[in-house]
Amino acid sequence: MGPNSLSQAGVNNVRSLAKLGTLLDIKDPSLSCYLLALQDLDERLEEVKEQRRQEIQHLKKLANKTHSLTLKCSDLHSALDNVKAKDIENHPTYEERKAKCTFLYKKIKNYGKDLSKLQRKLKDSGADESIFHENLLKKYEMLKSLQDKLAPVRAELQAYSSLPPDLSEVKIKIEQQKKELAELEKQVAESIDVSLL
């Protein structure tokens, strides 16, 4: 059957089949080849649909993440604005504290220098370390200890002094107590003299 024996509609159909065969890359224009090619096309169409479905899901996830990030960015901008506002509000206090710290640091530095100078002067003057506060405190404690020992001896001596004078033992005891008292008083006097040097 030649092309001339076909109606116009038949010719158009043959042309459409030929174009379809070219598009489907069919080597043999048989019905089975057309059906296999169409089946392959359907499978590829399903694959494309699946890929499109996955891409839509992926785009939805990206859209959700974008929305979440936009909200976070908005929160961060608000927080930053608050920090800037507080910084502006606290700036005078910060500057005042900074100035005080600088002033105090200079004072400490100056006091350190003055202390070093005074220590050098004290050393150069040959001052006796025994008159320093710590040493005087020790001497005071030693003196107080001697005075505490002296008090009961005085009391005992006073008690013996009230006894009748004709008792020889009492006189000997009194003399012993007087010597002990004199020795303690001597130690007290020496301690006082050393403290005043």
**192 occurs within a structural domain:** yes
Q: Could you tell me the pTM of the whole model? A: 0.32
**145 occurs within a structural domain:** yes
Tens-digit pLDDT profile for residues 105-139: 888 888 878 778 877 876 777 666 656 677 778 87
Tens-digit pLDDT profile for residues 60-77: 998 888 888 888 888 888
**123 occurs within a structural domain:** no
Burial of 107 (0-12, 13-18, 19+ CB in 10 A): exposed
Q: Cβ contacts of residue 11 below 8 Å, gap of 6+?
A: 3
Range of the domain at 142: 128-196
**64 occurs within a structural domain:** no
Task: Point out the residues of the chain with pLDDT beneath 50.
Answer: none
**106 occurs within a structural domain:** no
**155 occurs within a structural domain:** yes
**33 occurs within a structural domain:** no
The structural domain count of the chain equals: 1
